[in-house]
Structure 1
């Protein structure tokens, strides 16, 4: 098969021959027709986010395609079935292993590129807003990087669950786009201080932070009493200075979270909760697909550059 490989961390992304994996017990081998591109892939390509032990070194955390082979102990799937799902690595390839517990039958009318745009972003949003953040109707939720794939999913999820949503983005067009998704307040961080804007809005009860770094004290400043910050990214670095006095007096909570390293059993439980909620809403046009742009698989470097430059509104996908 062919796959995107590197000779070393930070080296060029090259589409070339690679060993084809074989499905083990409980696994499906998927002929990849589309693979989602995520910030985690950019960080891994730079050598700063190694895959979990035992997982593929090939980039790619979500795929859609057809079942090409079935491992021992797997029931409910046949060769040729259309599926999509979350993987811990290996998606930027012609073939990828998918744990059968995370495999989702692809609904009719949902294209490969659309299906591949869903797992990482929506499971991340569900994990951090619902499972960890315990979002409730009427809460004020601040989502940073609202025009990212995760941000777009998180805005729609929080809004659908009855929360009031604010988002930070870069540029007026992205502000307008986030408002279309359900954000009642969209803040262009290029020209407006989000702390002041959120305080004027009534503060935030829950903050989903993909940024890190110096956003931490700013998040604390606009977080309400008994509020929660869920940190899921480090776009502005891993070092931050927290105000422990504010943390104490306002009874704030700071929680770090990553999806990739969770045990597959936990991911399967999240999947069992998310997909019955999401897929009917997608079919009924109550939730929008937010597919920004597709590249063919050999153009992975261009796809990474597009994402790294912040040009996207929603998901970037590679076509196999």
Structure 2
């Protein structure tokens, strides 16, 4: 099968080249998917640079989410059959013509979506569900503040929060991105090109939950933006991972600071999340409250161009490889 290799083991986007490997076979409890499309995520870029190694047992091939058809199934797999149209969350291996995955991490493609759209769902859906609704405990009538609002995660978070009956305050860099976030459903959309957003958030009533992908540069403003009992959930730190936190502010405001990663969770936990995502978010996709937003599609062999495009940061929504 054709795959994308990282020439030299790590490097710039140009290190991504077409290679060839043996097609894997599914073991017990696994499914082999004929990949039709693969989503691109920032962890892929970090792994390409040598900064985010795959967890034990995961393939070294990039790619955390795919959509396609079930090719074959291993022993003890009862739900899936060859030919089923599915999408899946992977520990790695998505930039390839075939991928093996735990059958419990596979979801049906929602009605009305094609493979490209479906490949944009798993990583964002799992991430938003666990961080916004489980760790962040966002409830109907509350307000979510989401940074990086036009990223794949941001786009999903805006729609899912609105689908749950919450208000959304969104920050992004540039007037065009602020307009895009508003069009996606953000009640308040802030152009934070100057790095400042606190006054606008406070004027809008503050936030119950902050979904933070920026990190250090926004730490102090995040603390001040939260309402009493608020939850600050960190899922990335593009501006750095070291920040000073006023513990007295946490105590006085009864605030919660938490964070998580998805890729390193064990198979049972990902299976639990898959079931919860299918139960909660998939109906919202079916009724149109949540829709995947794909900015650009590249062929598999142009993975290097796709990485460069994502790193430039001009996209709204997801970047996807067509396999």
TM-score per shorter chain, which class? over 0.9
Give the 4+ runs in structure 1 shifted more than 6 A.
none
Query: Is the 2:111–2:286 contact (alpha carbons within 8 Å) kept by the matching residues of 1?
Result: no
Aligned to 1:3: 3
Counterpart CA distance in 2 for 1:170 and 1:214 is 14
**Does 2:242 correspond to 1:234?**
no
Q: Which of 114, 120, 129 does residue 117 from structure 2 map onto? A: 114
Q: Which of 169, 173, 187 does residue 170 from structure 1 map onto? A: 173
**Does 2:220 correspond to 1:217?**
yes
Q: CA deviation at 1:192?
A: 6.6
Segment of structure 1 superposing worse, 117-126 or 169-178:
169-178
Q: Which of 181, 206, 211 does residue 209 from structure 2 map onto? A: 206
In structure 2, runs of 5+ residues without a counterpart are: none
**Does 2:319 correspond to 1:316?**
yes
SS in 1 for 2:264: coil
Matched residue pairs, number? 320
Segment of structure 1 superposing worse, 249-258 or 29-38:
249-258
Q: Which of 183, 186, 198 does residue 183 from structure 1 map onto? A: 186
Query: Is the 2:118–2:292 contact (alpha carbons within 8 Å) kept by the matching residues of 1?
Result: no
Aligned to 2:105: 102
Segment of structure 1 superposing worse, 216-225 or 110-119:
216-225
Q: Which of 124, 129, 138 does residue 126 from structure 1 map onto? A: 129
TM-score normalised to the size of structure 1? 0.96
Counterpart CA distance in 2 for 1:241 and 1:300 is 38
In structure 1, runs of 5+ residues without a counterpart are: none
Counterpart CA distance in 2 for 1:155 and 1:137 is 14
1:128–1:265: structure 2 CA closer, same or farther, 3 Å change rule?
same
Query: Is the 1:214–1:241 contact (alpha carbons within 8 Å) kept by the matching residues of 2?
Result: no
Counterpart CA distance in 2 for 1:129 and 1:108 is 25
Counterpart CA distance in 2 for 1:237 and 1:191 is 17
Describe how 1:1-320 pairs up with structure 2 within 5 A.
1-6=1-6, 7-10=8-11, 12-191=15-194, 193-320=196-323
Segment of structure 1 superposing worse, 74-83 or 84-93:
74-83
Counterpart CA distance in 1 for 2:126 and 2:279 is 12
Residues 252-296 of structure 1, C-alpha deviation per residue, up to 9 Å, x if partnerless?
211011111112222222221222333333333232321111001
Counterpart CA distance in 2 for 1:108 and 1:160 is 18
SS in 1 for 2:159: helix
Counterpart CA distance in 2 for 1:48 and 1:242 is 26
Q: CA deviation at 1:108?
A: 4.5
Query: Is the 2:35–2:98 contact (alpha carbons within 8 Å) kept by the matching residues of 1?
Result: yes
Counterpart CA distance in 2 for 1:151 and 1:105 is 23
Q: CA deviation at 1:218?
A: 1.9
Segment of structure 1 superposing worse, 152-161 or 272-281:
272-281
Query: Is the 1:129–1:154 contact (alpha carbons within 8 Å) kept by the matching residues of 2?
Result: yes
